[in-house]
Amino acid sequence: NDMFNSGPGSIQSADWLNQICLQVVNDMNCYGICVIDNFLGEAQCSSILNEVKSLYGYGIFQEGQLVRKVNRTRTPSQVIRSDKIVWVDGGEPQCVNIGFLIQTLDAILFKCNTMENNGIFSRYQINNRTKAMIACYPGNGTRYVKHVDNPNGDGRRITSIYYLNQGWDLQRDGGLLRMYPTCYENHVADIAPLFDRVLFFWSDRRNPHEVQPAFSTRFAITVWYFDDEERNQANQRYPSFPIEAS
Ligand SMILES: Cc1cc(NC(=O)CCC(=O)O)nc(C)c1Br
Ligand SMILES: [Fe+3]
C-alpha cells in the first residue's frame, strides 16, 4: 500500500515521503540545515500540541535550571527558571500523536540514510535515536546560550526539532533560534519556532546555535539521531551516556 504511515490524525503517502527526503538530502548537503513548513498539517500538529499541553498540565516536566536573569538596569539580577523538559518514547498511551511524529521522523531519516545519491549521508549509518525531548520555555525572557549539541563525538549526528507554537510573532514573542553554520562564514540562519515547522541540522560543530529570549510559552520536540559508528565508540568511552537512548 502507498500509505507508509497512516497516523492517528493524518495520512502520509509514499510520494510525500519521497518528496520530503529529496528536500532533506538536498538541504543537508548544501546548507547542513533543512527547514520544512506545514510538515504534518494543522490537525495533526494541533493533536500533538494538545498532548504536550496535557503532559505539561500533569506537571511531569522537570523544573528548568535556575538561571540568572541578565537585566539592563542596575537592580540586583533575579534568578528565574529556564526551559523545562520531559523525555517520552512515544509509546505512552497519552502520547499517540507524539508517537506518530517520531515514527514519521524515523521514516524520513532512515530513508535518507539508504536512498541513492544521498551525498554526505552515505558517510553515516543512521539507525538509532534518542527518545523525544519535549522542551517548554516558560516565556519569562529565558534563553538558551550559544552551544553545539554534540561537540565531542557522543554519537549524535542529526538534530530534528518540531515546533508547536501557534500564532507566534517574533517581534512580540522572541524565541528565535539563531544558527551559526560554519559552512557559511559570517552568515546566520534565523529560524522562528513556528507551528508545524520541522528543522533538521547536523548536531556537531558545524552548527552552533542559540535560542534568544522568549516572551511567550514556547514548545518544541527534539529527537537526536545517532551515527552508529560514532555512537559505538562513544559507548566504549562512556558506557552510560546521559542522553536518553530510545
Ligand atoms: C537539552 C538541550 C536542548 C537544546 N536545545 C536547543 O538548542 C534549542 C533549540 C530550539 O528549541 O530551537 N540543545 C541542547 C544541546 C540540549 Br543538551
Ligand atoms: Fe541545541
Tens of each residue's pLDDT in the chain, 246 residues: 334 444 554 557 899 999 999 999 999 999 999 999 999 999 999 999 999 999 999 999 998 777 777 666 666 677 777 889 999 999 999 999 999 999 999 999 999 999 999 999 999 999 999 999 999 999 999 889 999 999 999 999 999 999 999 999 999 999 999 999 998 888 999 999 999 999 999 999 999 999 999 999 999 999 999 999 999 999 998 775 556 667
**CA–centroid distance, residue 13 to ligand 1 (Å):** 30
pTM of the model: 0.92
Ligand 1 atom closest to the CA of 133, numbered from 1: 1
**CA–centroid distance, residue 137 to ligand 2 (Å):** 13
Assigned C-alpha cell, 46: 494541533
The DSSP code for 151 is T
147 Cβ contact partners less than 8 Å away, ≥ 6 residues apart: 208, 209, 210
- Nearest bound ligand to CA 212? 1
Ligand 1 atom closest to the CA of 147, numbered from 1: 15
CB 134 within 8 A of CB 215: no
Q: Report d(CA 61, CA 58) in Å as an integer.
A: 8
| Closest CA relative to residue 130, chosen from 152, 155, 100, 151 | 155
With a 6 A CB cut-off, is 35 part of the ligand 1 pocket?
A: no
